[in-house]
Amino acid sequence: MTQPPRVLYVGPAGGDTFDATSLEQQTRAVRAVGGAVVRYTGRTLAELVEALEGVDVVMLQGHRFEAAAFAHLVSFGHGYDQLDLDAAVKHGVVLANTASFGTEEVSNHTMMHFLVCARKFVLHDKLVRQGVWSRAHLAPMGHIAGQTFGVIGLGNIGRAVARKARAFGLQVIGHDPYVAAWDAKEYGVEQVATVDELCRRSDYIIGRRQLDLMKPTAYVINCARGGVVDEQALIEALAAKKIAGAGLDVFEREPVDPSNPLLKMDNVSLTNHYASYSEVAWERAQTQMGEEAVRIATGMWPMSLINPDVRHTVPPRRPALAWEVYLRELTGGAPSAP
């Protein structure tokens, strides 16, 4: 490391949600290697571009950033819809996020929705609260063991879901054109060629479209992004009983409109976009921002690169190292800052 990294922190628009505790966690890795973090307080694009002068990398928390072509950047969380990946690639800008911090939480949340749907929990919880004690609404109810669980996307979360689904005795099939068949096999997942095939075969699915191809006993479970599922098509499929139900942590519009028909359906389990949260996971997401910022600022690839095509437009970089290993290398084995 030739000189300590200089990092710009860009928070949510307006700064009204600034959290000093989170910033302490985010800057931990940068401080550990003697670097500095400056908090951006401007409000215009011109001010932002000026603030980027002399900065090695930006840490972004929130959804405001119009200058993806000007500086390497680490975005908090999984989503990066607010970033222009094409512009970043063109200008040789490395973009990263903090994916993987909530892998266990999201996969657990997915399995929770799966069980809630499979056991008709929403309906029966409602009936008990209303004083109704009856076996009249039990059938049909799936056996779970031996049924087919479809996973769209076999990244960190998808593989964790597959591992947990197998523990329930489910046959797991998956579709992901970017994952090798051998890797899928290691997780006990049968690869299928298309989303259509997955939808036709599955009893339980992690969101997407092709609702018309699904079994009438199937459920859609979406703990990814609201836009992954055509919400209006889902509502219509549920109303027409083309599928058995759904478990949703995310929606096309958030917060959910009080008039949304999904809120009134007894075969739909709903949570308010908190699948990735636990105190442990959240702190990991915060500290991971700083770690990725240091990697990028010191000529290393980040662990979670979101614009891989940039490899063709930037000088060669070192492969990413685990933070504990890299920190020892950068500090000569000295203890890290608190």
Q: Which residue has the tokens 């910033």?
A: 23
Q: Please indicate, yes or no, whether residues 183 and 327 belong to a single structural domain of this protein.
A: no
Amino acid type, 174: G
- pTM of this structure: 0.87
- Strand, coil or helix: 145: coil
State the pLDDT at residue 205: 66
If asked whether residues 248 and 303 sit together in one domain, one would say: no
Tokens of 311: 């490899």
Cα four-point dihedral sign 262, 263, 264, 268: positive
Stretch (H or E) spanning 173:
strand 171-175
In this structure, is residue 254 part of a structural domain? yes
Q: How far apart are CA 310 and CA 159, in angstroms?
A: 26
Domains of the chain: total: 2
233 pLDDT more than 90: yes
270 burial level (CB within 10 Å; 0-12, 13-18, 19+): middle
The pLDDT value recorded for residue 277 is 94
Burial tier of 133 (Cβ tally within 10 Å: 0-12, 13-18, 19+): exposed
The residue annotated as part of the active site, out of 64, 163, 200, 225, is 225
DSSP 37-74: EEE----SHHHHHHHTTT-SEEEE-SS----TTTS-EE
DSSP notation for 292-329: HHHHHHTTB--SSBS-GGGGGTS---BPP--HHHHHHH
11-32: average pLDDT: 78
Same domain, 316 and 182: no
One of 50, 254, 324, 329 is an active-site residue; which one?
A: 254
Both 183 and 223 in one domain: the answer is yes
Whether residue 336 is contained in a domain is answered as no
Please check whether residues 73 and 166 belong to one and the same domain.
no
Which residue range(s) make up the domain with 75?
Answer: 6-101+278-331
Mean pLDDT value of segment 40-57: 89
pLDDT of residue 243: 94
Q: Where are the alpha helices (DSSP H) in 192-230?
A: 195-201
Let me know whether 110 and 247 are in one domain. Answer: yes
Buried b (16+ CB within 10 A) or exposed e, 224-257: bbbebbbbeebbebbeeebbbbbbbbbbbeeebe
Looking at the structure, tell me whether residues 20 and 130 fall in a common domain: no
């409109």: which residue's tokens?
257
Same domain, 115 and 247: yes
Residue 338 located in a structural domain? no
What pLDDT digit, counting tens, does each position of 252-291 carry?
A: 999 999 999 999 999 999 999 999 999 999 999 999 999 9
**Same domain flag for 154 and 127:** yes
**Does the residue 337 lie in any domain?**
no
Per residue in 91-149, pLDDT (tens digit) is 999 999 998 899 999 999 999 999 999 999 999 999 999 999 999 999 988 899 999 99
311 is catalytic: no
Shared-domain flag, residues 172 and 282: no
Strand partners for 168: none
pLDDT score of 207: 46
Q: Is 164 a member of any domain?
A: yes
Alpha carbons 93 and 310: distance in angstroms, whole number = 7
Percentage of the chain exceeding pLDDT 90 = 74
Say if 1 falls within a structural domain. no
**What pLDDT shows up at residue 307?**
94
Specify whether 120 is located in the same domain as 258.
yes
How far lies 150's CA from each of 59, 114, 169, 194, 237, in Å?
A: 35, 12, 13, 11, 18
pLDDT band at 17 (very low <50, low <70, confident <90, very high): low
In the predicted model, is pLDDT for residue 337 greater than 80?
A: no
Query: Would 160 be classed as within a structural domain?
Result: yes
Residues 264 and 141 occupy one common structural domain: yes
- For the four alpha carbons of 311, 317, 320 and 323, in that order, the dihedral sign comes to negative
| Residue in the structure block whose two tokens are 């959804």 | 63
Looking at residue 13, what is its pLDDT?
A: 65
Active site residue 225: yes
Q: What is the pLDDT of residue 208?
A: 45
The enclosing domain of 215 has a CATH number of 3.40.50.720
The verdict on residue 203 lying in a domain is yes
Residue that wins the pLDDT comparison between 66 and 337: 66
312 is catalytic: no
The stretch 314-324 carries a mean pLDDT of: 96
- Residue pLDDT, tens place only, 163-214: 999 999 999 999 999 889 888 999 999 999 999 999 999 887 664 457 898 9
What's the average model confidence in pLDDT over 66-84?
83
Query: Which one of 228, 247, 270 terminates a domain?
Result: 270
